[in-house]
Amino acid sequence: MPPVLRYLTRGLELISGPPAAATLRWNLENAWIILMENGNFCPPVAVRGNLIVDVHADAVKVVDLKLDLILRLEARCHRNYECLEVEIGKWSNSPLPLRLPQGIHNFPFSIPIPGGHPGTTDTPDLLVRYSLTTTLRVCRTTIEGRDHFDTLRLGQPIIVKRLIASARAPTYYHETLPEINATFSAIFSNIAKPLVDNKVSIRLESLPSSDETGSRYHFRRLKKVEWRLNEITSYKTSATGIDSTTTRRIADSSLCQGWKPNLRGGVEMLDFDFIYKIHELERYSCGVKMFQGVQVKHALVIKMYLSMAVPSIGDHTLTAMPAVDRKQWEPDGDRYWTPAEL
């Protein structure tokens, strides 16, 4: 039947053939799918719902009825901007063909998402998107006795989140810094919560050193602390095996106060805490363990600036020590990268 024009009060509507014999909609049990990780184990979670077919004609014959759960992955960090679509699962009604009389018909469905899959992500470096699509193809007999086929399609994005089920013990980091005759230690959590405060405790122990004559001691003074949280996205192509890695700063700040030196047994100790978190408007990704060649890690980089104080021997009054900015110590960022799972 050729297209016909039907006059409406709001304009013209182009109609191809008779009205559809059926309409399609669904009800999903959950708006979000949460993958709960407990240690190294993450069980699959199913997308469940009810597919509703409303038949308007006297009866229709269902030729095809299926649902597909598709994961779309775009590695934007790669120079060639590779895009990949992965079929996670499918559901189909059998046996077909199936005759449906006029009325509402329900088809419950369930499609599992494996626990190792990444969460929904949309950043400048990576896109991970889940979508649920369904296709219904029905056949009905017209007044002229001809078979008329209608194809109905329905699609909806599925939001997938990853959560850590149980809290892990804090991580303790310790390192000796021979270049400044000091030791550095930090206590932090390996799980970084994006929109809340994450605490880091720092201790810097410095031993005073004397000059060649032994008449003067050299003390270090902490002048400034900078921190930044980096998101590192890497992609490896299966064809060439070439890696492409980008590092993006998703949070940073600096401190110029909040610590006080304490001299104990000839060792100068500095203890202080700072808080870091991601701004609610910042686009970030959850950690992704190697999936289809893509991996996302996070690193907290701490940089400390120290000056040198040179008092005379016998003068132990710390407040009276002159701060001589002769040398600043800027440690290599890789040294203080600590993994964080968002």
Q: How far apart are CA 25 and CA 50, in angstroms?
A: 9
For residue 19, pLDDT beyond 90: no
Same domain, 199 and 97: no
For residue 68, pLDDT beyond 90: yes
pLDDT: is 67 or 39 the higher one? 67
Coil/strand/helix, residue 305: strand
User: Which of 64-73, 117-126, 141-150 has the weakest average pLDDT?
Assistant: 141-150
Q: How far apart are CA 151 and CA 226, in angstroms?
A: 59
Q: How far apart are CA 190 and CA 144, in angstroms?
A: 70
Same domain, 223 and 248: yes
| 143, 164, 185 - which closes a domain | 164
Query: CA of 132: how far to CAs of 34, 116, 271, in Å?
Result: 16, 19, 52
Q: What backbone phi and psi angles, to 5 degrees, belong to 336?
A: -110, 20
Same domain, 30 and 117: yes
Distant-in-sequence, close-in-space partners of 159: CB < 8 Å, separation ≥ 6? 31, 32, 33, 120, 130
Structure tokens at 316: 């132990």
Same domain, 107 and 25: yes
Coil/strand/helix, residue 237: coil
Query: Residue 217 belongs to a domain with what CATH number?
Result: 2.60.40
Provide DSSP, 93-108.
--SSSEEEEEEEEEEE
What pLDDT, on a 0 to 100 scale, did the predictor assign at position 327?
A: 34
| 144, 164, 184 - which closes a domain | 164
Same domain, 116 and 189: no
Which tens digits make up the pLDDT trace of 314-335? 544 433 333 333 333 344 333 3
What average pLDDT does range 296-322 have in this prediction? 64
User: Which one of 13-22, 63-72, 144-153 scores highest in mean pLDDT?
Assistant: 63-72
Coil/strand/helix, residue 319: helix
Query: CA of 98: how far to CAs of 23, 55, 67, 103, 150, in Å?
Result: 16, 13, 16, 14, 15
Which tens digits make up the pLDDT trace of 257-290? 888 777 676 677 888 899 988 887 788 888 888 8
Distant-in-sequence, close-in-space partners of 329: CB < 8 Å, separation ≥ 6? 179, 180, 220, 304, 305, 306
Provide DSSP, 125-180.
SEEEEEEEEEEEEEEEE-TTS-EEEEEEEEEEEEEEEEEESSPPPPEEEEEEETTT
Domain count, the chain: 2
Distant-in-sequence, close-in-space partners of 283: CB < 8 Å, separation ≥ 6? 122, 123, 124, 250
| 164, 195, 229 - which closes a domain | 164
From the CA atom positions of the chain, what is the Rg in Å?
Answer: 31
What is the pLDDT confidence band of residue 14, given thresholds at 50, 70 and 90? Answer: very low
Same domain, 54 and 159: yes
Residue with tokens 């053939």: 17
pTM of the model: 0.75
Distant-in-sequence, close-in-space partners of 64: CB < 8 Å, separation ≥ 6? 96, 135, 136, 137
Residue pair 341/190 in contact by the 8 Å Cβ criterion? yes
Same domain, 39 and 157: yes
For residue 4, pLDDT beyond 80: no
Same domain, 187 and 137: no
Average pLDDT value for the chain:
77
Q: For residue 118, what is the DSSP state?
A: P
What pLDDT, on a 0 to 100 scale, did the predictor assign at position 270?
A: 84
Same domain, 280 and 302: yes
For residue 313, pLDDT beyond 60: no
With b for 16 or more beta-carbon neighbours within 10 A and e for fewer, the 131-149 pattern comes to ebebbbbbebeeeeeeebe
Which tens digits make up the pLDDT trace of 84-136? 888 898 998 778 888 999 999 999 999 999 888 899 999 988 999 999 999 99
For residue 255, pLDDT beyond 70: yes
Q: For residue 63, what is the DSSP state?
A: E
Give the range of the structural domain holding residue 214, as residue numbers without chain letter.
171-339
Same domain, 159 and 230: no
Query: Residue 140 belongs to a domain with what CATH number?
Result: 2.60.40.640
Which tens digits make up the pLDDT trace of 198-232? 899 988 887 666 555 555 566 677 888 888 889 99
pLDDT: is 90 or 167 the higher one? 90
Same domain, 181 and 156: no
pLDDT: is 251 or 326 the higher one? 251
Q: How far apart are CA 334 and CA 308, in angstroms?
A: 24
Same domain, 46 and 141: yes
